């Protein structure tokens, strides 16, 4: 469990917020205070200041109300994060028609999820493998499953395809964020870092002890302008994931063709 969700978490409290089964009211909270306003303010804080700055007190400050007024509507940070994430899932693009068959549909899903992480990088730390099933999460899951519906996969395989695809997206998003964070923390771009270390690298590589590493590393560095190219890694990995899925789809089609009509 991430430190953002430490302590005992009661899913029932998150579910009540997510599905709005109850909307508390407080005369002392100020006019117009609602769960939706609190969640939007929390998203704005996390986007602008990072998840470490997200506290119930900070959200109250952003809304101009006291911390206890926020607690009247949302019982804790873990529950707040659940609703924040579900809210953002609801803002994702879900076009009904995407060209390119199942492969085109999965590409669209991958890029939309990557775009979500780019807009809200704190989600990479806030999401959990035990998500509370809010309305927007379920709508997202249902929409993404339609990308591979009717192509011969079993229900378990359809779920596994999404797990594989979204796992790649999240991994690529984390790696790209690491690059951004490292540049901010060191005050140095990748290109500047490699330029600084180039004399040492040339000295070690010129000895000829690592010929393959020298050749491949040089080629990759020239191609990306750095040791690692986040965009290339995402695109290359996405196509290989889709290639692998295509093998399974073809296998299922062959099995179906062999079945007696």
Residue 1 is predicted with a pLDDT of 44
Is there a single domain that holds both residue 124 and residue 147?
Answer: yes
Instruction: Give me the number of domains the chain comprises.
Output: 2
Is the torsion defined by CA of 253, 244, 93, 124 positive or negative?
positive
pLDDT of res. 14 = 92
Which stretches of the chain score pLDDT less than 70? 1-8, 23-31, 207, 260-261
Q: For 104-128, what is each residue's pLDDT tens digit?
A: 999 999 999 999 999 999 999 999 9
CATH number of the domain that residue 111 is part of = 1.10.357.10
Q: Kindly report the number of other CB atoms within 10 A of residue 88's CB atom.
A: 19
In a domain, 200, yes or no: no
Put simply, whether the predicted model's pTM sits higher than 0.85 gets the answer yes
In a domain, 41, yes or no: yes
On whether both 238 and 111 belong to a single domain, the answer is yes
- Same-domain status, 157 and 250: yes
Q: Are residues 111 and 84 in the same domain?
A: no
> Which one of 61, 89, 117 terminates a domain?
89
pLDDT at 2: 55
Query: Domain limits at 232?
Result: 101-189+226-258
How many Å apart are CA 10 and CA 233, to the nearest integer?
Answer: 38
Neighbour-count burial for 191-204, b at 16+ CB within 10 Å, e otherwise: eeeeeeeeeeeeee
16 and 138 in a common domain:
no
């Amino acid at each position: 469990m991430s430190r953002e969700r430490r302590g005992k978490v009661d899913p029932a409290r998150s579910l009540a917020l997510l599905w709005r089964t109850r909307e508390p009211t407080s005369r002392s909270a100020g006019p117009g205070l609602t769960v939706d306003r609190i969640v939007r303010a929390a998203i704005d804080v996390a986007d602008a200041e990072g998840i470490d700055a997200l506290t119930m007190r900070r959200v109250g400050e952003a809304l101009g109300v006291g911390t206890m007024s926020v607690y009247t509507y949302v019982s804790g940070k873990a529950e707040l994060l659940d609703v924040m994430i579900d809210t953002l899932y609801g803002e994702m693009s879900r076009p009904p028609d995407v060209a390119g068959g199942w492969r085109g549909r999965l590409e669209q899903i991958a890029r939309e999820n990557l775009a979500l992480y780019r807009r809200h990088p704190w989600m990479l730390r806030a999401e959990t493998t035990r998500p509370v099933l809010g309305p927007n999460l379920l709508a997202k899951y249902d929409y993404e499953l339609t990308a591979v519906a009717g192509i011969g996969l079993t229900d378990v395989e359809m779920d596994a395809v999404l797990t594989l695809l979204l796992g790649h997206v999240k991994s690529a998003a984390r790696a790209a964020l690491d690059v951004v964070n490292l540049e901010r923390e060191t005050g140095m771009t990748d290109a500047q870092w490699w330029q600084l270390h180039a004399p040492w690298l040339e000295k070690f590589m010129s000895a000829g002890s690592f010929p393959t590493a020298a050749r491949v590393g040089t080629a990759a560095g020239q191609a990306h302008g750095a040791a690692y190219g986040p965009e290339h890694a995402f695109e290359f990995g996405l196509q290989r994931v889709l290639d692998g899925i295509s093998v399974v789809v073809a296998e299922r089609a062959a099995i179906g063709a062999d079945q007696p009509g």
